[in-house]
Amino acid sequence: MTDPTPTASITTAGRVILVGAGPGDPGLITVAGLSALQRADAVVFDALANPVLLDAAPPEAERIDVGKRAKRHKLTQDETNQLLVDLAKQGQRVVRLKGGDPYLFGRGAEEAAFCAKHGVACEVIPGVTAGLAAPATAGIPVTHRKVASTVTIITGHEDPTKGETSIDYAALAGLIKAGGTACFYMGVGRLQAICDELTGHGLPDTMPAALVQWGTLPKQRHVTGTLASIQAKVDAAGLGSPAIIVVGEVAAIDEPGLDFFTARPLFGQRIVVTRTRQQASDLRTRLEELGAEVLEAPAIQIVEPDTQARQAFDAAINAAGDYDAVVFTSTNAVNAVADKLDALGRDSRALAGLHVSCIGAATAQALHARLNITADLVPARSTAEAFVDEFLLATDLVGKRILLPRADIARPMLPAKLHDAGCVVDEVIAYETILTKGLPTAAIDSLRTGEVDWVTFTSSSTADNLVELLGDEAALLSDCKLASIGPQTSATMRDRGLTVAVEADQHDIVGLVKALVEQHAPQ
């Protein structure tokens, strides 16, 4: 496998890049770190690097979990070092993704040195470290003009092989007393011992202290107290690792605005989103910005229709110029037409001269994004009924030919109404929605343990399919609150025996998010 001869010259094209993944929130990786991930051939990652970041690596990149939590090491440090060198020597760009900053209690320096010793180029992309970020999102500024002008970053878990602690607690207590902050990593198990050491070296037991678990993430929790009370508070709240312990006057600062993170309207809410994977991201981002933890349970999946329908769709798109108008009823329809144009070697000019309408602002946005076409008509209300009324008022399309690319299971109301109004409607099946095979484990596990606050339903088919997929376990949905995008979805939910806790007034993603926020607004 490896040539053990140390060499000073860098001989292979492969390299190792130690990338700081940031403290937890995947948005807190650096731009350089993300860019390295996007170009990785292999990613070797730790338990504390947010696994969501792995999605940024190319699909074909190998992903290797060397995570160690407590005593359950997956790979020893030596094995990890060797793995990095072996992969790089195969010519791969290896991203070594480490929680926080690679050089802060992450053994990054050992990995870099091992690479150098074996002639493998190694670079470091620093990261946002938990000891500074977790206090920030718990409302604690680690320095403050009035109370703290030094920060000590410190390990609370001394290497047991060293025998005794190398930390000078007397000096540390002095720093804190003189107006300093100490941020302890890996210290949860030694919290009381740390407090005792500090008070034993002259700090008053009234000195403020805080503990922040899972900082920067939606599941973040923290408590504040003093050196005398913090252990009891941590126990009472049931907090554990991974956490940062903050000691110093800053832990007691209570200025308005500092608690921006936990004050967000959906902070701490765990929400299962049932849209297709392709569609979930918009809803997900909006909910996450408001502080929610989002789990995707894509109950439905969009696929190409069967051969016969596909041929009819091809023919319609090839002859698009023969139509007078096209109506897009969803972003899926937009995507299907854009993909089809691509596949047929055509582009948006195929729709030149057609009157274009979209049901829903999101559909119009997708049309603009995918085909650079601005819709001629987007009715104010996103229902098929409202659309037909406005369409007939706004256009002179009676007797004209209308192309309607749709899903296989679409309701017949829209084409029927257009037909009644004298239009010639050509309905083509542009895509099919099918049941996904099983639900992601994160979503199903959370449902089983009763840790889901909300499940959102964005269409009748998401309700039908989620109930189908859950099978015998559909009763789990009665333990959570269910949110519906509109009356039609609510009706299907009720048919399926589900209780609708809230229905959006505005029947789109924005309206659904608004309805959830209103549920959590302070009374």
Nearby residues of 202 by Cβ (< 8 Å), 6 or more positions away: 170, 173, 174, 177
The answer to whether 214 contacts ligand SAH (rule: CB under 6 A) is yes
Q: Do the beta carbons of residue 198 and residue 172 sit within 8 Å?
A: yes
Neighbouring CB atoms inside 10 A of 410's CB total 19
Residue 486 binds to ligand SAH (criterion: CB under 6 A): no
Positions 254 through 273 that interact with ligand SAH (CB under 6 A)? none
Among 14, 26, 33, 106, binds ligand SAH (CB under 6 A): 106
Distance CA 136, CA 386 (A): 48
Assess 216 for contact with ligand SAH (CB under 6 A). Answer: yes
Residue range at the interface with ligand SAH (CB under 6 A); choices 237-245, 247-255, 309-317, 396-404: 237-245
Instruction: Give the shortest CB-102-to-ligand SAH separation in angstroms.
Output: 7
**Closest alpha carbon to 499 in 468, 454, 465, 469:** 454
Q: How far is the CB of 258 from ligand SAH (least distance, A)?
A: 17
Distance of CA 240 to the CA centre of its chain: 23
Distances (CA, A) of 225 to 157, 253, 261: 21, 11, 20
Residue closer to ligand SAH by CB (options 37, 212) is: 212
Bridge partners (DSSP) listed for residue 300: 435
Distance CA 135, CA 292 (A): 19
Within 10 angstroms of residue 409's Cβ, the number of other Cβ atoms is 13
Q: What whole-number distance in Å separates Cα of residue 111 and Cα of residue 80?
A: 8
Query: What is residue 499's DSSP assignment?
Result: P
- How many distinct helices (H) and strands (E) make up the chain? 17, 22
Neighbour tally for 253: CB within 10 Å:
17
For the CB of residue 233, give the shortest distance to ligand SAH in the complex, in Å.
16
* Radius of gyration over every alpha carbon of the chain, rounded to an integer in angstroms: 28
Least distance in angstroms from the C-beta of 242 to ligand SAH? 4
In degrees, rounded to 5, the angle at the alpha carbon of residue 102 between the alpha carbons of residues 99 and 103 is 135
Minimum distance of ligand SAH from residue 450's CB (angstroms): 24
Take residue 428 and report the two structure tokens written for it. 């083509």
186 lies in the site for ligand SAH, by CB under 6 A? yes
- 356 SS3 class: strand
Q: DSSP letter for 402, please.
A: E
> Count residues contacting ligand SAH (CB under 6 A)?
25
Pattern 129-158, binding to ligand SAH, x per CB under 6 A?
A: xx---x------------------------
**Selected range binding ligand SAH among 67-75, 236-244, 285-293, 454-462, rule: CB under 6 A:** 236-244
Q: Is 298 in the site for ligand SAH (CB under 6 A)?
A: no
Q: Which residue is nearest to ligand SAH (CB)?
A: 100
Tokens of residue 65, six digits:
């979990």
Q: Is residue 218 at the binding interface for ligand SAH, with CB under 6 A as the rule? A: no
Active-site amino acid positions: 46, 68, 186
Exactly one of 99, 208, 291, 415 binds ligand SAH (CB under 6 A); that residue is: 99
Applying CB under 6 A, the span of 33-41, 68-76, 242-250, 509-517 interacting with ligand SAH comes to 242-250
Nearest distance from C-beta of residue 25 to ligand SAH, angstroms: 8
Residues 8-47 that bind ligand SAH (CB under 6 A): 23-24
Least Å distance, CB 121 to ligand SAH, is 22
Q: If binding is defined by CB under 6 A, does position 288 make contact with ligand SAH?
A: no
Measured from the CB atom, the residue of 167 and 491 that comes closer to ligand SAH is 167
Q: Which is nearer to ligand SAH, 104 or 327 (CB)?
A: 104
The footprint of ligand SAH (CB under 6 A) covers: 23-24, 48, 98-101, 104-106, 129-130, 134, 185-186, 212-217, 241-244
